[in-house]
Structure 1
Amino acid sequence: MCLCIFSISLAAQQIKYSDGNDSWNPNLLGNHRVVVEFTGKDNVAKTTIEWRRRDENPELKKIIVQDANGKEVLNTKTENINRENGTIYFEPVSGKGKYYVYYMPYIDEGDANYPKGVYAKPESKADAAWLSKIKKNLKDNCTVKEIQSVNAFNSFYPMEVIATAAETKDIIAKNSDNSFLVFPEDRLYSIRMKNDLPQRWIQKGVQNSFADTAMKGEYLAFQLGVYALENLSNVKVQFSDLKNESGAVISAKNINCINTDGTRYDASNFAATVSVSKGKVQAMWCGIDVPETAAAGTYTGKATVVADGKSKEITLQIKVTNEVTKNGGIDSPEKMTRLKWLNSTLAQENTVIAPYTPLEIKGSEISLLGRKLILGSDGFPAQIQTFFTPEMTVIGTKANDILTAPIAFHFVDGAGKESLQWKNTGLKFLKKEAGTVAWESVSTSKSLQMDVNASIEFDGFVHYTVKITALEDATFNDINFHLPMQSSSAKYMMGLGQKGGNRPENFDWKWDVAHKSQDGAWIGNVNSGLQFSLRDEKYSRPLNTNFYLQKPLLLPTSWGNDNKGGITITPNQKSVLVNAYSGARTVKKGDVLYYNFNLLITPFHALNTDFQWNTKFYHKYSPIDTIAKTGATVINIHHANAINPYINYPFIEFKKMKSYIDEAHEKGLKVKIYNTVREVSNKAYETFALRSLGHEIYSPGKGGGFSWLQEHVGDDYIAAWFVPEIKDAAIVNSGMNRWHNYYVEGMNWLTQNVGIDGIYLDDVAFDRITMKRIKRVLTKDGHPGIIDLHSANQYNKSDGFNNSANLYMEHFPYINKLWFGEYFDYEKNQPDFFLTEVSGIPFGLMGEMLQDGGNPWRGMVYGMTNRMPWSHNADPRPIWKLWDTFGIKGSEMIGYWSENCPVKTNNEKVLATVYKKNGSTLISIASWADTDVKVKLSIDWKKLGIDPSKATITAPEVANFQPAQTFTTKDELPVSKGKGWLLIVK
Structure 2
Amino acid sequence: MKQILFWLLLIVCCNVAVAQEIKYISKNNNWDPDSLGNHRVVISINHSDIKIARALIEWRRNDQHPENKDLFVVDSATNKRISNVSVTSISRESCTLYFEPVSGDQKYFVYYLPYKVDRKSNYPNAKYLKPEQTASDDWLQSINNTINVENAKVDCIESINAINSFYPMEVIATKAEIDNLIHQNAGRSYLVFPEDRLHSIRMKHDLPQRWIIRGMRNVFADKTVKGENFAYQLGIFPVTKDLKDVKITFSALKNKSGKVIAAKVMSCLNTNGVDFRGDDFNHSVDVAKGDVQAMWCLVNIPSTTIAGTYEGSVTISAKNAENTKIGVRLTVSNAIAVKGGVNEPREQTRLTWLNSTIAQKNEVIKPYIPLLVKDNSIALLGRKVILDKTGFPKNIETYFTPEMTSFATEAKQVISSPIELKVENGSGVEQWQSKGITFTETQPGTVKWTAINTTADLQMDVSGSLEFDGFSSYTVKVTALQDVNLNDIRMEIPFNKDAAKYMMGLNLKGEKRPDHYEWKWDVAHKSQDGAWLGDVNAGLQYSLRDENYVRPLNTNFYLQKPLLLPSSWGNDNKGGINITENGSTVLVNNYSGSRSMKKGDVLYYNFTMLITPFHPINTDFQWATRFYHKYDNIDTIKATGATVINIHHGTPINPYINYPFIAHDAMKAYIDEAHKKGLKVKIYNTVRELSNSAYETFAMRSLGHEIYSTGKGGGYSWLQEHVGDDYIAAWYVPEVRDAALINSGMSRWHNYYVEGMNWLVQNVCIDGIYLDDVAFDRTTMKRIKRVLTQDGHPGIIDLHSANQYNKSDGFNNSGNLYMEHFPYLNRLWFGEYFDYEKNSPDFFLTEVSGIPFGLMGEMLQGGGNPYRGMIYGMTNRMPWSDNADPRPIWKVWDDFGMKGTKMIGYWVENNPVKTNTPEVLATIYKKDKAALVSVASWANDDVNIKLLIDWKALGIAPSKAIITAPAIKNFQPAASFNNGQDIPVQKGKGWLIIIREK
Amino acid paired to 1:57:
H
- CA gap of 1:631–1:144, structure 2 versus 1, over 3 A, is same
Shift of 1:10: 9.7
Contact 1:542–1:552 (8 Å) recurs in 2: yes
SS in 2 for 1:907: coil
Q: What TM-score comes out, normalization by structure 2 length? A: 0.97
Q: Which deviations, in whole Å up to 9, do the C-alpha atoms of 1:488-529 show, x marking residues without a partner?
A: 000000000001010011100000000000000000000000
Would you say 1:526 and 2:536 are equivalent positions?
yes
Q: How does 1:621-700 map to 2 (within 5 A)?
A: 621-700=631-710
Would you say 1:257 and 2:264 are equivalent positions?
no
Q: What TM-score comes out, normalization by structure 1 length? A: 0.98
Match of 2:355 in 1: 343
Would you say 1:559 and 2:559 are equivalent positions?
no
Match of 1:238 in 2: 249
CA distance in 2, matches of 1:666, 1:913: 38
Shift of 1:573: 1.4
Match of 1:49 in 2: 57
Contact 1:721–1:729 (8 Å) recurs in 2: yes
CA distance in 2, matches of 1:698, 1:913: 47
CA distance in 2, matches of 1:511, 1:300: 59
Match of 2:11 in 1: none
Would you say 1:95 and 2:95 are equivalent positions?
no
Match of 1:359 in 2: 371
Contact 1:110–1:116 (8 Å) recurs in 2: no
Q: How does 1:230-379 map to 2 (within 5 A)?
A: 230-308=241-319, 309-379=321-391
Selected match of 2:81 from 59, 72, 97: 72
Match of 2:7 in 1: none
Shift of 1:135: 2.3
Match of 1:28 in 2: 35
Q: Which deviations, in whole Å up to 9, do the C-alpha atoms of 1:102-131 show, x marking residues without a partner?
A: 111111148611111100011111111211
Q: Which deviations, in whole Å up to 9, do the C-alpha atoms of 1:65-113 show, x marking residues without a partner?
A: 0112211100000011001101110000133311111111111148611
SS in 1 for 2:636: helix
CA distance in 1, matches of 2:150, 2:18: 14
Q: Which deviations, in whole Å up to 9, do the C-alpha atoms of 1:561-605 show, x marking residues without a partner?
A: 000000000000130000000000010000000000001000000
CA distance in 2, matches of 1:867, 1:24: 38
Contact 2:713–2:724 (8 Å) recurs in 1: yes
CA distance in 2, matches of 1:362, 1:159: 63
Match of 1:576 in 2: 586
Shift of 1:270: 2.1
- CA gap of 1:444–1:13, structure 2 versus 1, over 3 A, is closer
Contact 1:109–1:118 (8 Å) recurs in 2: no
Contact 2:681–2:767 (8 Å) recurs in 1: yes
Selected match of 1:107 from 95, 99, 116: 116
Shift of 1:413: 2.5
Deviating runs (4+, > 4 A) in structure 1?
Answer: 8-14, 136-140
Selected match of 1:813 from 798, 801, 823: 823
CA distance in 2, matches of 1:427, 1:172: 64
Match of 1:5 in 2: none
- CA gap of 1:496–1:60, structure 2 versus 1, over 3 A, is same
Would you say 1:197 and 2:204 are equivalent positions?
no
Q: How does 1:899-918 map to 2 (within 5 A)?
A: 899-918=909-928
Shift of 1:477: 1.0
CA distance in 2, matches of 1:657, 1:299: 39
CA distance in 1, matches of 2:103, 2:684: 51
SS in 2 for 1:583: coil
SS in 2 for 1:699: coil
CA distance in 2, matches of 1:130, 1:490: 82
Q: How does 1:790-829 map to 2 (within 5 A)?
A: 790-829=800-839
Identity level (%) = 64
Match of 2:8 in 1: none
CA distance in 2, matches of 1:955, 1:537: 58
CA distance in 1, matches of 2:50, 2:157: 25
CA distance in 2, matches of 1:136, 1:353: 82
CA distance in 1, matches of 2:27, 2:152: 20
Single out whichever of 849-858 and 110-119 deviates more from structure 2: 110-119
Match of 2:463 in 1: 453
Q: Which deviations, in whole Å up to 9, do the C-alpha atoms of 1:688-715 show, x marking residues without a partner?
A: 0000000000000000000110000000
- CA gap of 1:14–1:864, structure 2 versus 1, over 3 A, is closer
CA distance in 2, matches of 1:421, 1:934: 60
Amino acid paired to 1:491:
K
CA distance in 2, matches of 1:413, 1:423: 16
Contact 1:9–1:15 (8 Å) recurs in 2: no
Amino acid paired to 1:51:
W
Would you say 1:434 and 2:444 are equivalent positions?
yes
CA distance in 1, matches of 2:129, 2:458: 65
- CA gap of 1:594–1:184, structure 2 versus 1, over 3 A, is same
Shift of 1:628: 0.3
Match of 1:979 in 2: 989
CA distance in 2, matches of 1:39, 1:660: 52
SS in 2 for 1:124: coil
CA distance in 1, matches of 2:577, 2:743: 32
Contact 1:39–1:141 (8 Å) recurs in 2: no
CA distance in 2, matches of 1:217, 1:919: 64
Q: Which deviations, in whole Å up to 9, do the C-alpha atoms of 1:751-800 show, x marking residues without a partner?
A: 11100000000000000000000000000000000000000000000000
Q: Which deviations, in whole Å up to 9, do the C-alpha atoms of 1:611-650 show, x marking residues without a partner?
A: 1111100000001100000000000000000000000000
Contact 2:389–2:437 (8 Å) recurs in 1: yes
Match of 2:853 in 1: 843
Amino acid paired to 2:435:
T
Shift of 1:133: 1.2
Structure 1 unaligned blocks of 5 or more: 1-7
Match of 2:26 in 1: 19
Match of 1:484 in 2: 494
CA distance in 2, matches of 1:21, 1:337: 27
CA distance in 1, matches of 2:954, 2:558: 49
CA distance in 1, matches of 2:172, 2:560: 32
Shift of 1:900: 2.1
Amino acid paired to 1:271:
N
CA distance in 1, matches of 2:584, 2:112: 75
Would you say 1:151 and 2:128 are equivalent positions?
no
Contact 2:197–2:231 (8 Å) recurs in 1: yes
Contact 1:511–1:566 (8 Å) recurs in 2: yes
Contact 2:18–2:213 (8 Å) recurs in 1: no
Amino acid paired to 1:23:
N
Selected match of 1:601 from 606, 611, 617: 611
Match of 1:3 in 2: none
CA distance in 2, matches of 1:593, 1:822: 40
CA distance in 2, matches of 1:408, 1:602: 20
Shift of 1:245: 1.9
Q: How does 1:505-524 map to 2 (within 5 A)?
A: 505-524=515-534
Contact 1:67–1:94 (8 Å) recurs in 2: no
Q: Which deviations, in whole Å up to 9, do the C-alpha atoms of 1:425-458 show, x marking residues without a partner?
A: 1110000000000000000111000000000000
CA distance in 2, matches of 1:180, 1:210: 17
Q: Which deviations, in whole Å up to 9, do the C-alpha atoms of 1:523-566 show, x marking residues without a partner?
A: 00000000010000000000000000000000000000000000
Q: Which deviations, in whole Å up to 9, do the C-alpha atoms of 1:134-159 show, x marking residues without a partner?
A: 12656651111001111111110000
SS in 2 for 1:560: coil
- CA gap of 1:80–1:91, structure 2 versus 1, over 3 A, is same
Match of 2:425 in 1: 413
Structure 2 unaligned blocks of 5 or more: 1-14
CA distance in 2, matches of 1:200, 1:13: 10
